[in-house]
Structure 1
Amino acid sequence: MPPTLAPTDLQGFILTRHWRDGPDGTELEFWLATEDGPKKVVLTQQISVAFMPARHLAAARAPLAALQGLEVKELGLKTFEQEPIVGIYVRRFRDLGKLARALQPLGIALYEADVRPHDRYLMERFITAGVVVRGGQHQGSTITDGRLTPTPSWRPMLKVVSLDIETSATGDLYSIALDSAGDRVVLMWGETPVDAAAPVDFRLQYCPSHQEMIEQLNAWFALQNPDVIIGWNVIQFDLRVLQKTADAVAVPLLLGREGRPIAWRTHPGRQGYLFAPMPGRLVIDGIEALRAGMWSFPSFSLEAVSQELLGEGKDIGDAYDKMAEIERRYREDKPALARYNIRDCALVLRIFDKLELLQFVLERAQTTGLQADRFGGSIAAFSHHYLPRMHRLGYVAPNVGDIAAKAFPGGYVMDSTPGFYDCVVVLDYKSLYPSIIRTFLVDPVGLAEGANANANANASVDAQTGLVRGPQGTLFSREKHGLPGIVTTLSLARDDAKRARNQPLSQALKLLMNSFAGVLGASECRFFNPKLVSAVTLRGHEVMKLTRAFVEQRGYQVIYGDTDSIFIWLKRAHPNEEAHAIAADLVQRINAWWTRKLREEEQLENFLEIEFDTHYAKFFMPTIRGSDVGSKKRYAGLSVDASGKEAMVYRGLEMARSDWTPLARQFQEGLLLRIFRGEPYRAYIADYVQAMLAGQMDALLVYRKRLRHRLDAYQVNVPPQVRAARLADAHNARLNRPQQYQRGGWIHYVMTVSGPEPLEARRARIDHNHYLIKQLKPIADAILQPLGESFLTLMTAQEVLF
């Protein structure tokens, strides 16, 4: 239920958070979006805490005495090894880091010293993003020393600006476009032309110097005061260029609220990758948001995504045409460049609107407890939920690295039975790993309690009744645990979100729940424990094996299974309605069986739930290339829904992979579709090959591959895409234009009789025989083998190769 609000209470949504140490203690700063506009909440004189084993107090006397304002308290908490601890309270957060470093040579652990104070404040109050500010001193838009409490349901209306820039080939800033509900403007570098005609739907403002451009940009942000900046590669490119330009002309770039600068910082694990936090404003990159939401595209370029989602894109062609055209427009037609610039902003806004990306980002923040523009962070999200609940159960968290990294079993993937099938139904366990956590009470505290109970009772029968037996001899407490409750809350919330058709919230909750098992298996997580994650994955193995046995006892055959999905051949063709009915009956029987089995044998409540996923009227499972063994994670099928609507589905095959040519993907799709529908396919193969050899399909022969390293990093093994990229950049150098591939990127090339050559510098004729042998033959053989045929035999019979 929403909190009861006093007249002075203020509801808000946390945009940004920050901490700083001062002489009187640590100060926390939260910027909120509220109905009354942006508000800054400042909490002064905050105390930071870490935990130390009580038995080390005497040995740690000297390092502790060196800290001013230190307080040591007995708290009744303990480690997972049941060792009593004391709380170490300090006025400045950085003192905890100093103390941890001083204790390390003494072999004394300091627990949770790395939990940042603003995160600690929020998590211990069960706040994620929505808050109520109670009391405090109000002065303008600043509230000092108010009290924050959670309000999970409140969402803000945010003011958004889409930002995009255009530059020269050498990185000189040409223009800055800003598209917001309050204003649409393009700042253009250069003097105002005498005959300048103003664009009809946005302002075009000329700036004679880069200094004035940055000053005008700062002024725009101060006046329009947006909550969110969105863009495409907006941090790694646009904001970087703006910062570089501002630094070059000695003008501060002040895009944060209160005219504050960007607090740039580097990613510790990704060289060259930057974060751009700024006070009071979120910066959301469209590419990062799509990936966080598990959207997938062959290419995440703005052009590719906008074409796929909106059916339209930019008005300039490939990379070379684009740069040349931008240069021409800047010299000859600056209003045209401005229109191109602002169009990119509009495309980003429309993509965000179509996919509800901003709503997803906000729901993700409310779900995870992470700042809304922080992507990734599944470990931090787990800690945000688990740490306060663990403390209330009487435990403190271990440190990262307390348990050495060790391999553990992954998801269960069954051996497949390759071939063509009529009538395959797929059943899927709903959120299998979270359901295992709920059902079998898998939990870090529960594992510690189980180990302690077992040790103290010498494994007596009485002691075991309060425990759940897990794989590899693990024992979990039935009464004392935190993670199952967290998963239950999130699962029920997801059910509510589905009923309310709140897809962004449903997706955010699903992704968070599904991340938990992975977090327990991540050595960078303080809760990493191979026994914990194995208790989930190995239980998953058991669930899938028992499900297979249940299905096959009823006369059907399981031909494949992968982690949480099971593929069932119904042994003969069935009408679509009948196949759906059989699947529904299996679902009901399997779920009832689990409920009965777990209640009677384990005295556990069942949260495992299998669901009907897909009916394939026709299904194909290939072999591993060059063998008779069935492949894994690769299949195709003709699905039919309850209304009879058909759709081709490809998983892992060349049709679904971007590193095969369009020629191969089109061939595979056409061949499988004809076989599935019982149509003649031999003539199709022959005609396709003949057309390719005759040069009628040259437009489909283009490889598109990614260069994952710098060109000069490839020394010993030089793959075709690298050879093509080197030819392309040599061609670029001869034409005095920028080299495109020195730092990696995507290259388009074809195979010629002289080897791989880039499209922009192709000289030799295409090697059609390469595409015959390397692209068409492997695909055809994989499909023809179960039918007792081969590509070579078929082509010889058709006289295509002669």
Structure 2
Amino acid sequence: MIKDFYVLDFSYDVEEGKPVIYIWSVDREGNRVVVLERNFRPYFYAVIDGEVETIAEEVRRLSKPESPITRVEPVEKKYYGEPVKALRIETVIPAYVRTYRDSVAKVKGVREVLEADIRFYMRYSIDSGIRPFYWFQAEVEEVKDNKFRVKHVYNLVKLLKVFEDEPPRLRVMAFDIEVYNKYGFPDPRRDPVILIGVWTEEGGRQFINEDGDDLKIIRDFIKFVKEYDPDVILGYNTTGFDWPYLLERVKARNVKLEIGRKVNSEPSQGTYGHFSVVGRLNVDLMGFAYSVEEVKVKSLDNVADYLGVMPKSKRVNLEWYQIPEYWNDKEKRKLVIQYNMDDAKSTYLLGEVFLPFGEQLTMLTGLPLDQLAMASVGYRVEWLLMREAFKFNELIPNRVEREYEGYKGGLVISPKQGVHENVYVLDFSSMYPSIMIKYNIGPDTLVKGECEDCWVSPEVGHKFRKSPEGFYKRILQRLIQERREVKKAMDEAKDEFTKRKLDERQRAIKVMTNAFYGYMGWLGARWYSKEGAEAVTAWGREIISASAKLAEQEGFEVIYGDTDSIFVKGNEEKVDKLVKEISSKFELEIKVDKKYKKVFFTENKKRYAGLTFDGKIDIVGFEAVRGDWCELAKDIQREVIEKILLYSVDDAIRLVREAVMRLRRKEFKIEELIIWKSLDKGLDEYEVDAPHVVAAKKAIKAGYAIFKGGKIGYVIVKGAGKVSDRAEPYFTVKDPSRIDVDYYIDKQIVPAAMRILESFGVKESTLKSSGFDIMSFFNKK
């Protein structure tokens, strides 16, 4: 029979000595099914120099009975764009590819062994073209197999085509657990799970531990997952906490966390640290939250609040250390229960924000969504490149360890300090990808000797052949063309759903395209090229410098420039002409990205704030100056910027003075003064007792477990000695009168404001004085 299948994920197992790939799918009728590919075999390549058949025979002699070498086939391939002779070496058991890799590498005449480190089911996905969130049509035969929790099981007979079409409706489930951690950081061997909250499109569901024994609620949770049968399981930091905790907890109770679509399968940790649930996409949304740069502390409540899916004002907010106290109190217990439900719902709603974009990235890269969520940008780009390499008959280089090599970055034109009005930001669209295309840059086009027909990069002098087109250029051209087509389709789309989907697609293409330059300079890249990355920035510097000179010749004042944009002020009627001249000269797309009614710069690069003509305030660089500022200091800095842009410097000064006076009058909440700091090392590894280290040690002494990689929140209290000695975990300080107000004025509030105001000639003493004019008091009457 011939049927269509929508792909969710892949996995594989070895059955009766042969590998079987499981293609987890949904059919046209909405049934959850698995298609079994039994005929695909693992293989790798050996690049050779010498007599082909002699080397091939030597390779055949390495065959082992446990997984024999079944085929050694001579092939013509390209390696970094150059034609090479290679052997395609096939075996039976995927794990033996790595075993044979080492022995084949020692055969005389073998120059290099390649593609032995590609995961078996991903190898199949690349070769067949079958990938998640696409449909494939195939001739299949139904078989009976009771080890799968699906409606139908099929053997794949013949693949007919892979295509894109409307997706089926997927079942999505979000979950969150709470544990009773009376003695500090939870220990799964000791501390029970008290709540498991679940949220689906049908609403919330909770499993509540009423009698102290969590085995029942864990079993009820397992039963629910099997019955609801989600295609996608969402969590937030489930990789770091929920899954390892549940797995360790059931292990201690001799129970299996059997929730996969294959009988007896439990979540298991795999590539990029994510936990895989067989047949389901288990997605940790924290991986996507890392891209939300505006949120510094990536807690679930912070991210959900920032994105507007669950404002903090509309949910229960608890700290982890409060849970045992609230759980023991019959009146407060309901707050813990609601807190858990709010977390599960927040996770589900975040999925609605992140998943559409993640799905498009998966369609571009072929990397299953659960892995993609936790993979770095570099790995995402690499999977796209690997798929393209297969199409181009290019061999995939091995990943190797490299020593760090620095190189000069983009040009930054020093800002003209102060306030400027009517400023235009001229931005080169995708400058670095455009440079890579124009000058055919890549590791396969680099020429290290003499070259008669090459592009030569300025300053560094690296040479890249003009033809034929390189690996990077071909892929980037295709992506840019695809994005144009998607944007055109978006303009023509009639319904909002289609528009949103296309917008996510073009955004995913843009993100991937712009990541190519960074990938090329990433030390972990298979297609690494320091020369290429260095040449791109050199051409970029030349273009920005020349564009600035051209702007000045046309009568504009250049007040700032950074990597791929310049800020100019001058005659508005001449801006369009300037844009056309620059675009024509460099054959690159440039546009007026923003128009600022007012913008100000400090003397520091990459730090400015502007007010657009539609009333939006952009703040760049200031919020990232120091990670050890309390919320009040950050708020004051932001408000100072707003006052300068909307009113005047005098208004900004008054704002800071009022904040100083409020602190002196003890009119503050302790929460405003918490300083958050990461513990990047174990406490015994710190040579100096910094404030956050001292606070962490005090927290441990008070019975709270603090670990490497976590964050500690502390406040500075009054007393003698160094500041670090007076750092206290914030949850141990209840009385506001203990706070060292002078520390917060002198080391937090005033310095945060002075980062901006010193550019306007303001002195610290001005901010600390009350500014009270006795005559103005008498003149009020």
| Paired letter, 2:141 | Q
SS at match of 1:506: helix
**176, 184, 192: which one pairs with 1:172?**
192
SS at match of 1:692: helix
Deviations 1:273-303 (Å, cap 9, x if unpaired)?
Answer: x4211211011122222225x4642332222
Q: 1:711, 1:722 within 8 Å by CA — same for their partners in 2? A: no
Q: Which residue of 1 aligns with 2:171?
A: 159
RMSD: 3.3
Deviations 1:706-762 (Å, cap 9, x if unpaired)?
Answer: 2323562353222212222333343x33xxxx4456763231423534432333334
CA distance 1:712–1:291, shift in 2 (3 Å):
closer
SS at match of 2:35: strand
CA distance 1:773–1:639, shift in 2 (3 Å):
same
CA distance 1:289–1:260, shift in 2 (3 Å):
farther
**261, 278, 291: which one pairs with 2:265?**
261
CA distance 1:494–1:659, shift in 2 (3 Å):
farther
User: 1:510: how far off?
Assistant: 2.0
CA distance 1:33–1:327, shift in 2 (3 Å):
farther
Superposed counterparts of 1:199-598, under 5 Å: 209-265=213-269, 274-292=273-291, 294=292, 296-308=294-306, 309=308, 310-311=310-311, 312-329=313-330, 338-353=337-352, 355=353, 357-374=354-371, 375=373, 376-391=375-390, 393-401=392-400, 406-447=405-446, 459-460=451-452, 464=453, 467-470=454-457, 472-498=461-487, 499=490, 500-502=499-501, 503-570=503-570, 579=572, 582-595=574-587
Q: For the residues of structure 2 that align with 1:782 and 1:69, how far apart are their CA atoms?
A: 67
Q: For the residues of structure 1 that align with 2:160 and 2:179, how far apart are their CA atoms?
A: 44
SS at match of 1:680: helix
CA distance 1:88–1:794, shift in 2 (3 Å):
closer
Q: For the residues of structure 2 that align with 1:257 and 1:377, how far apart are their CA atoms?
A: 28
**625, 645, 648: which one pairs with 1:678?**
648
Q: Which residue of 1 aligns with 2:152?
A: 141
**637, 645, 648: which one pairs with 2:617?**
648
| Paired letter, 1:89 | E
**678, 686, 693: which one pairs with 1:722?**
693
Q: For the residues of structure 2 that align with 1:341 and 1:796, how far apart are their CA atoms?
A: 47
Superposed counterparts of 1:54-69, under 5 Å: 54-55=48-49, 58=54, 62=58, 64-67=60-63, 68-69=68-69
| Paired letter, 1:773 | D
SS at match of 2:38: strand
Q: For the residues of structure 2 that align with 1:265 and 1:658, how far apart are their CA atoms?
A: 32
Q: 2:44, 2:88 within 8 Å by CA — same for their partners in 1? A: yes
Q: Which residue of 2 aligns with 1:759?
A: 730
SS at match of 2:290: helix
SS at match of 1:660: coil
| More deviation, 251-260/585-594 | 585-594
User: Are residues 1:620 and 2:600 paired?
Assistant: yes
SS at match of 1:74: strand
**118, 122, 138: which one pairs with 1:119?**
122
Q: 1:390, 1:445 within 8 Å by CA — same for their partners in 2? A: no
Q: 2:327, 2:333 within 8 Å by CA — same for their partners in 1? A: no
Q: For the residues of structure 2 that align with 1:689 and 1:399, how far apart are their CA atoms?
A: 59
Q: 2:56, 2:72 within 8 Å by CA — same for their partners in 1? A: no
SS at match of 2:616: strand
Deviations 1:568-621 (Å, cap 9, x if unpaired)?
Answer: 233xxxxxxx74x554443333223333xxxxxxxxxxxx21222222222221
| More deviation, 251-260/106-115 | 106-115
Q: 2:674, 2:730 within 8 Å by CA — same for their partners in 1? A: no
Q: 1:634, 1:653 within 8 Å by CA — same for their partners in 2? A: yes
Q: For the residues of structure 2 that align with 1:767 and 1:402, how far apart are their CA atoms?
A: 49
User: 1:655: how far off?
Assistant: 8.2
User: 1:256: how far off?
Assistant: 0.5
Q: 1:189, 1:213 within 8 Å by CA — same for their partners in 2? A: yes
CA distance 1:117–1:727, shift in 2 (3 Å):
closer
Structure 2 unaligned residues grouped into runs of 5+? 144-150, 491-498, 721-725, 774-781
Q: For the residues of structure 2 that align with 1:770 and 1:338, how far apart are their CA atoms?
A: 39
Q: 2:439, 2:466 within 8 Å by CA — same for their partners in 1? A: no
CA distance 1:446–1:134, shift in 2 (3 Å):
farther
**23, 26, 30: which one pairs with 2:23?**
30
CA distance 1:533–1:34, shift in 2 (3 Å):
farther
Q: Which residue of 2 aligns with 1:76?
A: 76
Q: Which residue of 2 aligns with 1:746?
A: 712
CA distance 1:539–1:9, shift in 2 (3 Å):
farther
User: 1:165: how far off?
Assistant: 1.7
User: 1:372: how far off?
Assistant: 0.9
| More deviation, 223-232/259-268 | 259-268
CA distance 1:102–1:328, shift in 2 (3 Å):
farther
Q: For the residues of structure 2 that align with 1:691 and 1:700, how far apart are their CA atoms?
A: 15
Q: For the residues of structure 1 that align with 2:718 and 2:576, how far apart are their CA atoms?
A: 53
Q: 1:393, 1:481 within 8 Å by CA — same for their partners in 2? A: no
| Paired letter, 1:323 | P
Q: For the residues of structure 2 that align with 1:258 and 1:797, how far apart are their CA atoms?
A: 71
Q: For the residues of structure 1 that align with 2:196 and 2:347, how far apart are their CA atoms?
A: 15
CA distance 1:699–1:152, shift in 2 (3 Å):
same
Q: Which residue of 2 aligns with 1:187?
A: 207
User: 1:158: how far off?
Assistant: 0.8
Q: 1:729, 1:741 within 8 Å by CA — same for their partners in 2? A: no
Q: For the residues of structure 1 that align with 2:761 and 2:217, how far apart are their CA atoms?
A: 70
User: Are residues 1:663 and 2:675 paired?
Assistant: no
CA distance 1:770–1:566, shift in 2 (3 Å):
same
Q: For the residues of structure 2 that align with 1:224 and 1:714, how far apart are their CA atoms?
A: 47
Q: For the residues of structure 2 that align with 1:699 and 1:334, how far apart are their CA atoms?
A: 25
| More deviation, 55-64/753-762 | 55-64
CA distance 1:35–1:339, shift in 2 (3 Å):
farther
Q: 1:780, 1:791 within 8 Å by CA — same for their partners in 2? A: no
**How many residues matched?**
719
Deviations 1:550-578 (Å, cap 9, x if unpaired)?
Answer: 212212222222222222233xxxxxxx7
Q: For the residues of structure 1 that align with 2:551 and 2:605, how far apart are their CA atoms?
A: 20
| Paired letter, 1:132 | F
SS at match of 2:329: helix
Q: Taking structure 1 as the reference length, what is the TM-score of the superposition?
A: 0.81
Q: 1:230, 1:283 within 8 Å by CA — same for their partners in 2? A: yes
Q: Which residue of 1 aligns with 2:11?
A: 18
CA distance 1:684–1:303, shift in 2 (3 Å):
closer
| Paired letter, 1:162 | A
Superposed counterparts of 1:625-636, under 5 Å: 631-636=604-609
Q: 1:152, 1:366 within 8 Å by CA — same for their partners in 2? A: no
| Paired letter, 2:432 | Y
User: 1:225: how far off?
Assistant: 1.0
SS at match of 1:548: helix
| More deviation, 434-443/52-61 | 52-61
User: 1:367: how far off?
Assistant: 1.6
User: 1:784: how far off?
Assistant: 4.1
Q: For the residues of structure 2 that align with 1:698 and 1:183, how far apart are their CA atoms?
A: 36
CA distance 1:111–1:684, shift in 2 (3 Å):
closer
Q: For the residues of structure 2 that align with 1:469 and 1:760, how far apart are their CA atoms?
A: 61
